[in-house]
Structure 1
Amino acid sequence: MSSQPRKIVLGVTGGIAAYKSPDLVRRLIDQGAEVQVVMSRGAQQFVTALTFQAVSGKPVRDDLWDESGEAAMGHIELARWADEIVIAPATADFLAKLTHGFADDLLTTLCLATTAPITVAPAMNRQMWANAATQANVRTLKERGVRVLGPASGEQACGEVGVGRMLEPTQIAAEIFTTRGGAGPLQGLKVVVTAGPTREKIDPVRFISNRSSGKMGYAVAEAAREAGAAVVLVSGPVQIPTPRGVDRVDVESAEQMLSAVQSNLVGADIFIAAAAVSDYRCREIAGEKIKKTSDTLNLALARAPDVLATVSRSEAHPFLVGFAAETEHVERNALIKLNNKNLDMIAANKVGDGLAFDKDENALTVYWQGGKQELSMTSKTALARQLVELIAQRYHARGAHPTPTQTSVSTTPLSAAHAR
């Protein structure tokens, strides 16, 4: 990020999601931004200007006809000051006004007067979002270069469930700092990412699996795409929409994941193994549902294919990034895996006790030969962007260090293969 703080005008319009906007101010400031809040009249029915002044450290602007603010054509000054204008929440009414060039209050006037990029985070009832007029307005705004973040799906204040919720402040803040256009650090590269769990059949209705939700891997795939890469996502069974612009291949078992990875590694520059691949599979899969005939059931297990190790052993392989999800001795186990599997980098984190799996936030420590970097707790979306940026740095620096010095750690074999 630039040494100069990013100057952001945060517009807040009159929807119930306005209660989230003070948190967004705080998160933007945490990332180094200077934030000036501009409220619509409707927004003031939900949150007070004093709240925003407290978190931003600046008096709120809310009136196009404010004598002190407009003595020097303040709305034009603000329009020129902003590096970006962000509207969160953006109501259906505001989207319509922005589309059709209304300038009947300070916020809409700013949007017409600025040359800065504009981002909107819509929030409204699901039927309002689905309405043909709203969808037409959104299409028009996107065609004009307005960035549209969300909305998300979920329970709404009206009690209905569907698409229309404003994205969470952590997600919006992370998106704001995503570079618009231009060549990203992975521009022109092919990246293959694995994500989610795998399932190993016991019988036609049962399987062995793990708690991976796939959120981290999907966030990594999305971040790599944003960084300019052509991305293939090899995914175990998850309930997550495919990131825009990403080519997704669905698999179920470890063997299927290995086959899909090998098929898609042709021409790949980077392989990021974020999936939690099963370590073991049933030696024999029952052809019919196993009946409950005794108090115990013994299953004979055999090693499942180790996707990352297999790729690493190939004669010509891409830049390799592994994941290590550990319940203890995180650094030691991660470094063993880094060496044993001949990886370029490994991202490690502690799991269990409510950490990482099924969560929207995570933290990582990333290791490579002779170095490491801590990535502190944040949303998986923001964390993935940090990780991809670091991967890009190490990938481009690799040419200067073709024969890295091995990190000095014990390499006593572990009792099981990696489980990420």
Structure 2
Amino acid sequence: MLEGVNVALGVTGSIAAVKTVELAHELRRRGATVRGVMTDSAQGIVHPWAVEFATENDVVTEITGSVEHVDLCGYDGWADVFLIAPATANTVGKIAGAVDDTPVTTCATTALGADTPVVIAPAMHEPMYDHPGVLEAIDTVSGWGVEFVDPRLEEGKAKIASEEAIVCDVARAAGDRPLEGASVVVTSGATSESIDPVRIITNRSSGKMGRAVAKACYVRGADVTLVHDGPEVPYADVRDVESAAEMLAATRAACEDADAMVSAAAIGDYTVAESDEKIRSGQELTLDLEPTPKLIDEIRAEFPELPIVGFKTETSGDEEAMIEQARTTLERAGLAFVVANDASVMGKDRTRALLVHAGDAARYEGTKAGLGGEIAESIAAVLGADETSK
């Protein structure tokens, strides 16, 4: 996600600075090169040696005649993005007022003047975060194009955002945004049909692929709505659903304002009348299964111009058969393209897939995160072609 990206990591005097070492490691695990910048207050919480160890680079603890701020964040500076994590109320206020009395605030002013992307992850006690001056400072700095990673409001504290949220926003700030301004709806994971208050019918889909697509679209600038029965994620507006009917209703509502939709969910093909009480075990049981509506057909009928990406899972392992089935779905529903894969990849981090368009099919083998990126780029190309044809 951050391959080849240079991140200058500013650390200020919040107790959340104790998380800086792991954050630096996570940025590097995602491909970034990291150099630390620390205030005096931050050095009272985490030692510069720890940040040096985590980044494998010297840490800037003062601005000297070597003009470290310009070297890092100035015109043609080293950094592709300046990340301040954690950022105190004091630091945010100083940035808004162009006050440069720490290495971090001096780098921030330099980055803003040089048009280097800046990402800020605040962390403080909640009453400080709610102070009118702090909120005004955040609004001011946001108006300059700075990305704020919203803190988690828990236990009277505005706790620093998760590493995943920070990494996503750094990638979004540092990279190209071919989906800037686009609204993308993604369905993900399995659906479940209730047999009784205890039992369900479901499938083996983990939702990893759908979440990878949603994250990749967000990083490329899109506003993402994720419809699934799964966890809250920092890169999308989540619509929590369980059954196929709930997923269809939520997707239909989300597509009212969408520019594209990706149907990555493994939606149950059958539903059943639910028993109000638990069915006792130890007896023979016959379930009358009823087919569920095909989500992409329903969405296509209601939104005839909406670009839709479909997924087609098969078990044969025969590429030609997979392409043929994918093309049948593509033509029936008028899809932008179809991602065909084998059921054996369910729940795994790596995948093998075919991106099937009307005229060709491209093979992919690698991580689901990588495939998510390929799909997001293809969506951007489809939306770009649509805009050109208007």
TM-score by length of 1: 0.67
Moved more, 173-182 or 47-56: 173-182
Q: Say which of 161, 169, 176 aligns to 1:166.
A: 161
Structure 1's 337 and 164: CA in aligned 2 closer, same or farther, altered over 3 A? farther
Structure 1's 127 and 250: CA in aligned 2 closer, same or farther, altered over 3 A? same
Give secondary structure in 2 for the equivalent of 1:85. strand
Give secondary structure in 2 for the equivalent of 1:341. helix
Q: Aligned equivalents of 1:19 and 1:215: distance in 2?
A: 30
Give yes or no for the alignment of 1:307 onto 2:306. no
Aligned-pair distance for 1:63? 1.7
Matched residue, 2:106: 109
Moved more, 259-268 or 135-144: 259-268
Q: Name the aligned partner's letter for residue 62 of structure 1.
A: T
Q: How does 1:204-353 map to 2 (within 5 A)?
A: 207-209=200-202, 217=210, 220-221=213-214, 223-224=216-217, 227=220, 233=225, 235-238=227-230, 240=232, 253-258=243-248, 261=251, 270-282=260-272, 284-286=273-275, 288-290=276-278, 292=280, 295=283, 297-308=285-296, 319-323=307-311, 338-342=326-330, 344-346=337-339, 348=341
List runs of 5+ in structure 1 lacking aligned partners: 65-69, 155-159, 357-361, 400-420
Give yes or no for the alignment of 1:94 onto 2:81. no
Moved more, 208-217 or 90-99: 208-217
Q: CA RMSD in A?
A: 4.7
Q: Aligned equivalents of 1:371 and 1:294: distance in 2?
A: 50
Indicate if the aligned counterparts of 1:366 and 1:372 stay in contact, CA closer than 8 A: yes
For this pair of structures, how many residues does the alignment match? 372
Indicate if the aligned counterparts of 2:175 and 2:220 stay in contact, CA closer than 8 A: no
Aligned-pair distance for 1:11? 0.7
Indicate if the aligned counterparts of 1:326 and 1:350 stay in contact, CA closer than 8 A: yes
Give secondary structure in 2 for the equivalent of 1:58. coil
Matched residue, 1:43: 42
Indicate if the aligned counterparts of 2:213 and 2:373 stay in contact, CA closer than 8 A: yes
Structure 1's 279 and 375: CA in aligned 2 closer, same or farther, altered over 3 A? same
Q: Say which of 185, 198, 203 aligns to 2:191.
A: 198
Matched residue, 1:376: 367
Structure 1's 291 and 75: CA in aligned 2 closer, same or farther, altered over 3 A? closer
Matched residue, 1:176: 170
Indicate if the aligned counterparts of 1:36 and 1:60 stay in contact, CA closer than 8 A: yes
Give yes or no for the alignment of 1:142 onto 2:142. yes
Q: Say which of 77, 82, 87 aligns to 1:85.
A: 82
Q: More helix per residue: 1 or 2?
A: 2
Q: Residue by residue, what CA displacement relative to the aligned partner does 1:328-374 show, whole Å, maximum 9, x if unpaired?
A: 96989965753453362317587899x46xxxxx4444421331234
Q: Aligned equivalents of 2:228 and 2:249: distance in 1?
A: 13
Matched residue, 2:122: 122
Q: Residue by residue, what CA displacement relative to the aligned partner does 1:278-314 show, whole Å, maximum 9, x if unpaired?
A: 23211x444x435648655442323323324666899
Give secondary structure in 2 for the equivalent of 1:388. helix
Q: Name the aligned partner's letter for residue 392 of structure 1.
A: A
Q: Name the aligned partner's letter for residue 300 of structure 1.
A: D
TM-score by length of 2: 0.71
Aligned-pair distance for 1:391? 3.5
Aligned-pair distance for 1:90? 1.7
Moved more, 248-257 or 118-127: 248-257
Moved more, 125-134 or 103-112: 125-134
Aligned-pair distance for 1:118? 1.9
Q: Aligned equivalents of 1:85 and 1:210: distance in 2?
A: 43
Give yes or no for the alignment of 1:9 onto 2:8. yes
Structure 1's 73 and 237: CA in aligned 2 closer, same or farther, altered over 3 A? closer
Q: Aligned equivalents of 1:16 and 1:204: distance in 2?
A: 45
Q: Aligned equivalents of 2:310 and 2:26: distance in 1?
A: 29
- State, as a whole percentage, how many aligned pairs show the same letter: 30
Q: Aligned equivalents of 2:201 and 2:178: distance in 1?
A: 38
